[in-house]
Chain A
Amino acid sequence: MLEYAGSQRAGLQRHREGAALAGVVRSLDWLLIAGVAGLVAIGLWAVSGVTHFTIAGNPSYYVKRQMVYAAVGVMALVIGLVVDTDVYRRFWRPIYYGTISLIAIVLVLGRAARGSTRWIDVGFFTFQPSEFGKLLFVLAIAGFIADRSRASADPSLTMRVLGLGVVPILLVFAQPDLGTALVYTSALAAMLFISGTPWKQLAVLGALVALVITVVLWAGPAVGVNFLHGYQKSRLTCFVHPQKCTVDARYNLEQSIAAVGSGEVRGRGVRNATQVNLGFLPESPTDFIFAGFSEQRGFVGASLLLALYLLVLWRGLRVITMARDLYSAIVAGGIVVAFLFQVFVNIGMTMGIAPITGIPLPFVSVGGSSMIANLAAMGVLLSIHARGRVARAPRRRSG
């Protein structure tokens, strides 16, 4: 922003910001908004079906709560849309340290739920910082990269980015929340990719990841060092060797696949979906909601959902190219790829083509933190898109 001297300065600035905001509203990506709205709607539909018999006598318990979260999430989206991305860039350090402390607080204070600590209970709502952390992590790391964009070919920059990113990833991994840690990792990789890290460095990083996977899954256990809990490893590898994995891990996978398959083309409906209603499908309102939704609504419903994800992701990728500056582009890249990663791993695991990790399905899985954080991220995407168009608008008019 250019600064003018004189007494008009403040007034002009206010005027220009007002004009910019109006421009932002005018230049919204309405297709992206439609896609997100469709996902939220279909998500509520899925929740209402899958949780219909979860609480006896109160079929709408979960869907009502989820609607409240969606409403709060829309507010978060508006905030994300209104706030200029420059603010995040300027304050990336506080965001970064704030994120780390939030996740650390969970480790210290958070209550244990099913063997892993991911929540902070704030009375009416159990708050899951690692969900919000996804967005904050992207906003912070992107700030660091954008500040040093001229040196983006320097391997030491890549090293420092990695060093910065690895701290929150390890904290989330320690919760233990392997799935979310992987989401963070995918976002980090996407940000390096978009920021223009040379292919050679990316190749080295890829080799490094392959090495880590080998050590964690194979070499480590072979020499008696286990980085993963038994169930984590079993779930990760189960989809590759279904015959070798433990009964429990295979049971969940088989029930999930049976749920998806039994939906056939038109679905079994809410009442007849025995895999969901009789409890054969594990974690049906959360991690495996896609399987429950597919059982109830069939190929028709499930492919509609997939199509909406595809729409949102396509618009998301487009936002990267429309971004006003490198920071916004990196943020958009991180958000979109993390989103894609979640959608693929979650849906893939219910159908046996991705490892089983506890990743919620964005906009669909029951859970407030995930819903609000994802809507806020969409707000940021919309904001990037809008500000990018506003920035380019005058030129276009001149042409």
Chain B
Amino acid sequence: MASTLDRPPVVPAPAPEPEPQPEPLAPWRSPRITKRVAILGVALLVVFAALFLRLWALQVLSGTNYVKQAQSNSYRTVPVLAPRGPILDRTGKPLVVNAAATAVQVWPSDLPKSRYGELKRLSQLTGVPLKEIVGGIAKRKDDPLTPVTVVPDANERLVSYLLEHQTDFPGVTTGRTYVRHYPYQSLAAQLLGYVGAITSAQLKALGSGYSPTDRVGQAGVESAYDSYLRGVDGAAKRHLDALGRPRSALVPTALPKAGHTVRLTLSLSLQQAAEKALQDGIRLAQADGQWAARGGAIVALDPNDGSILAMASSPTYKPSVYSGRVTTKALAAQGLTPKTAQADNYPALDRATMATYPPGSTFKPVTALAAMQEHLISPYSTLPCTPSYVSPDDKGHQVFHNWDPGVNTQMDLPTAMAYSCDTYFYQLGNSFYELPGDRGPRLQKWAETFGFGHDTGVDVGTESAGLVPTPAWRDAQYTRAKDPCCWQVDRLWKPGNSIQLAIGQGDLLVTPLQMARFYALIANGGNLVTPHLLLDVENPNGTAVPIPGRPAPKHVNVDQQALSVVRQGLWEGTHLSFGTSYPVFGQFPVSIAGKTGTAEKVVSLPGYLGLKNQSWWCGYGPTDKPTLVVCAVIENGGHGGTAAAPAAAEVFAKYFHVKVKQTTSKHSD
């Protein structure tokens, strides 16, 4: 070692004074290298200064921000669904309520990258096709932080399995939800509507307050009064790890507010009666040989304020098919898909408001009132009721037949209505045709005044306006393009058009609800009411919630004298032996007034195209102080007195708590 060599001599040289020795350097060492180490030392200081400063900046200066970031990282806010408000009938009986359920949800952001196996297992467990789950996730591609509901109402076994195997299903959670429950199954199905996942179009239209995971009313009351029913969702948070597995229980941060209770004007018992009556009416029609009678509608109104007490439509479906997981198969089985709807005769269609029919003779009161208002007749002067009628103005000399070819007698207006004499009304129709052109189509004007040809303004559901044909409409309808052969003739309003219109035939189309509203006008002395279903709204504590005011009944300037003549005619129709619905209402314990209708309509059925009679009956009771209007239609049901009148009678019987005698069938108009 070098040390032995460098040892100083044993005998020191005679040095006068030992020089102060500098720190000795190894032979390899040069100032250059020391300098380089110093450079490294500076680099070391710079590096550590950077690290310290950065650490200080992160932890001391902006630490609180990062604490927040870390917390929001680990907390996941979950919506807590508000229970949807129940829907009650007018007496408070529940029509739609909630059932608690457990939903199985997938959080797309928390799914592992290789998710195929997990989703496949989930699909096998839940029975939901993998394609559907993947599709749901794909739909939520832009918004991975809201869950995709796989099963809205999972059974207990599935839920407990998922809870036990939580670690195998990262990103899959179970949560409390509610599903709609229908204690009376198909009762008022089209009226009540159903709840379903919000569509993107709805989300856009409804705006703020709705989220893409919401379920909203899709039809009927559920849709019309969704804002009352839905409540306000609450929120809860829970700890989640980076793989989305829950690490703590849910801690509520905002309590959900339950939806309001919506009470309808509907009467549960009357609705049940109306639906049963409708089935009975269809059965009667079929027993009478009307094989095509497969549907219909009954509307029961309070004529004084327009409250809908019952509104039945047949065929119908069970809205429970929409609660829980909705499958195309289940929908198809109930005729709720476009493919199966026709075979099942369109059960989703609310025939009371959306279907239009020619009204036939039930329209005769309109003609009668209009004719009196226009002074075309005096009520108690007579016109001949003949087997047939040819208009003197008709260049084609078309013959219009009476339903009863054996009659030939003079009749006044009430009798003509009660007997439903077509030829009497043909003459009135022709009189309207003969009115000078500058007065316009007066019959149509009155029909529109009485609520035909436009919406009734009912608060729930969609409705058809129907059609009141006018010369102008005809002119616009028949063009060269649409009717190349005969448009020049067809577009003209001819005497036959007025004649047919007078007995509610031809192009005229009305909805059962429009008809009921018109009979309410007759019953209440000339007020056009707005039909409605909403009675009141209460919050969960039982306090009333303000609701928008209803339009007041609109008084129609119609002569009371004329009205009483029409009422007389309707009374005679049910009380005098020649009245068309005398067999049904003649012995009825409560005095009922009304009118039958047998309206020909060109129908297209599978394997059949031709004319079918629509069976109508509209009326009210008690006749002296009416409290109920009933309008019944049996689609393709034949004569009004055969099918519709007995059905309407059942509704009255229920309403007045009386027994109805099973009626005998009679063919009349």
Contacts and interface: CB of A to CB of B under 8 A. Distances in A.
B4 A265 contact: no
Interface stretch (B52-60, B90-98, B514-522, B593-601): B52-60
A337 B60 contact: no
A260 B241 CA distance: 18
A379 B241 CA distance: 42
B33 A344 contact: no
Given A194-B33, A306-B55, A391 B5 contact: no
B28 A329 contact: yes
B246 to A, nearest CB: 11
Contacts of A190: 40
A203 interface: no
Contact of A260 (B6, B8, B34, B59): B59
Interface residue range, chain B:
35 or more
B55 A20 contact: no
Contacts of B40: 190, 193, 317, 320, 333, 336-337
Given A391-B26, A399-B21, 15 more contacts: A2-B1, A259-B66, A263-B59, A274-B74, A275-B74, A278-B241, A279-B243, A302-B59, A306-B51, A317-B41, A323-B26, A325-B26, A353-B51, A392-B24, A394-B6
Interface string A189-226: 01001101000000000000000000000000000000
A255 B54 CA distance: 16
A310 interface: yes
A353 B59 contact: no
A274 B71 contact: yes
B263 interface: no
The A interface, classified by DSSP as helix, strand, loop or mixed, is helix
A394 B28 contact: no
Interface in A318-363: 320-321, 323-326, 329, 333, 336-337, 340, 344, 347-348, 351-353
Contacts of B33: 194, 196, 329
Given A294-B59, A323-B26, A395-B6, A193 B36 contact: yes
A262 B67 contact: yes
Contacts of A352: 54
Contacts of A2: 1, 4-5
B51 A348 contact: yes
A306 B74 contact: no
Interface in B4-42: 4-8, 21, 24, 26, 28-30, 32-34, 36-37, 40-41
B240 A317 contact: no
Given A280-B242, A394-B7, A344 B28 contact: no
A1 B59 CA distance: 55
Interface string A279-299: 110000000000000110011
Given A2-B1, A280-B73, A392-B24, A261 B47 contact: no
A257 interface: yes
Interface residue range, chain A:
35 or more
Given A278-B241, A303-B52, A391 B59 contact: no
A260 B243 CA distance: 21
A258 interface: yes
A317 B70 contact: no
Nearest to A278: B241
Nearest to B30: A196
Given A2-B5, A294-B55, A321-B37, A280 B70 contact: yes
Given A196-B30, A299-B59, A351-B58, A262 B6 contact: no
B63 interface: yes
B541 interface: no
Interface string B240-251: 111100010000
A314 interface: yes
A326 B7 CA distance: 22
B205 interface: no
A278 B242 contact: yes
Contacts of A294: 55, 59
8 contacts: A260-B59, A261-B63, A262-B69, A275-B73, A306-B52, A317-B44, A351-B58, A392-B26
B62 interface: yes
Contacts of A279: 241-243
A390 to B, nearest CB: 8
A277 B52 CA distance: 25
A353 B73 contact: no
Nearest to B242: A279
Nearest to B47: A344
B74 A280 contact: yes
B452 to A, nearest CB: 63
Contacts of B29: 321, 329
B32 A196 contact: yes
Interface in A157-203: 190, 193-194, 196
Interface in B64-110: 64-67, 69-71, 73-74
Contact of A274 (B4, B5, B55, B70): B70
Interface string A60-76: 00000000000000000
A278 B247 CA distance: 8
B473 interface: no
A261 B28 contact: no
A299 B62 CA distance: 12
B294 interface: no
A264 B3 contact: no
Contacts of A302: 55, 59
Nearest to B32: A196
B612 interface: no
B230 interface: no
Given A278-B242, A317-B41, A258 B73 contact: yes
The 3 closest A-B pairs by CB, nearest first: A261-B66, A264-B63, A279-B242
B116 interface: no
B53 to A, nearest CB: 9
A381 to B, nearest CB: 14
B417 to A, nearest CB: 79
A89 to B, nearest CB: 13
Contact of B60 (A258, A264, A317, A348): A264
Interface in B221-253: 239-243, 247
A398 interface: yes
A350 to B, nearest CB: 10
A234 to B, nearest CB: 16
B2 interface: yes
B380 interface: no
B407 interface: no
Nearest to B239: A278
A110 B591 CA distance: 101
Contacts of B241: 277-280
A194 B62 CA distance: 40
A313 interface: yes
Nearest to A146: B28
A391 B1 contact: yes
Interface in B177-202: none
Nearest to A392: B24
A347 B66 contact: no
Contact of B34 (A258, A321, A337): A321
Contact of A265 (B32, B44, B59): B59
Interface in B589-632: none
A244 interface: no
A196 B39 CA distance: 13
Nearest to B34: A321
A258 B55 CA distance: 12
B74 A262 contact: no
A353 B46 CA distance: 13
Q: Give the one of B47, B48, B55, B64 with max A CB within 10 A.
A: B55
B55 A299 contact: yes
A246 B73 CA distance: 19
B1 A261 contact: no
A274 to B, nearest CB: 4
B50 interface: yes
A257 B63 CA distance: 10
B26 A261 contact: no
A271 interface: no
